[in-house]
Amino acid sequence: MTARGLTPSLLLQLLVVAGAAGARWRGQGTTPHLQSIILGRCAEYDALVNPDPRGRNCTAIWEAFKVVLVKDPCSVLPSDYDRFIDLSRHSIPRDKSLFWENNHLLVTSYSENGLRFLPLCSVLYGRIGDFLSWCRQENASGLDYQSCPTSEDCENNAVDSFWKRASMQYARESSGVISVMLNGSEPSGAYPVKGESCGEGTVKILEERLKKMGFQYSCINDHLPVKLLKCVDHSTHPDCVLNSAAASREIPPLWAEHGASHIVPFLVALASAVHM
């Protein structure tokens, strides 16, 4: 294919499409410069976020992570990350755990960088993997930058196994009051089995499971601070108008939402852990 007559961006798009069409797996390829990003994140965590008085060895943490990069892309088990977790784990303050489903960005905003809550992506081992993708090539020893397997391709892929192992650790280290943020407007159901409000539908399934496990729980619809946060993006929606003299309503907002979506009841289930 000659490049003459094609603008550079069009050529690039065609190449990307061609590349994607030939991709082995359904998921995004390995993030470029994976090692530098991981080392940088570890260093940043240690220097700025939560320094370990004993000192963390980020090189050792990277070496422990690296072991999965030589494995067949569909043969990576959660236990392959055991050493990595061992080196990067740290305690989680009581009552700060926040589990979530289908609302990654909202959770990040609401957690306020670990001030309000410490979700998995704010814990060292979670932060290391956040938004990254990685896998070895199927028939060669190098990393696959084109695509990586998702759960639809195979269960034991590097990324899914990572999050399974990390989530297990996170759950084990959680104590006190555990919070869960679910997306009530997710068509397949807030609790991923398939309810939109407390005591209904899929949320009822969660509540019953927790009851069986011996946990106390309570559920709040439309938890105010979270509703306020959602409203930041939809400030012109009728449900989001504040009733206060201090807020100005007369000046037309600069960022009017086009076709403001409906604010649906937002669920926060608070489950009180009996152990610890």
Interface residue list for other proteins (CB under 8 A) = 31-33, 36-41, 43-44, 46-48, 58, 108-110, 112, 116, 131-132, 224-229, 231-233, 235, 239-244, 246-249, 251, 253-255
Q: What is the DSSP letter of 143?
A: B
Least Å distance between CB 31 and other proteins? 6
Q: Are 87 and 124 spatial neighbours (Cβ–Cβ below 8 Å)?
A: no
Least Å distance between CB 59 and other proteins? 10
Q: How many C-beta atoms surround the C-beta of residue 158 within 10 A? A: 25
Report the residue number, 77 or 132, with the smaller CB distance to other proteins: 132
Least Å distance between CB 255 and other proteins? 7
Report the residue number, 78 or 129, with the smaller CB distance to other proteins: 129
Report the residue number, 23 or 77, with the smaller CB distance to other proteins: 23
Provide the token pair at 101.
């489903």
Least Å distance between CB 145 and other proteins? 11
The phi, psi pair for 214, rounded to 5°, reads 90, 20
Burial of 149 (0-12, 13-18, 19+ CB in 10 A): buried
Report the residue number, 7 or 255, with the smaller CB distance to other proteins: 255
β-strands 267-272, 216-221 pairing: antiparallel
Say which amino acid occupies 160: D
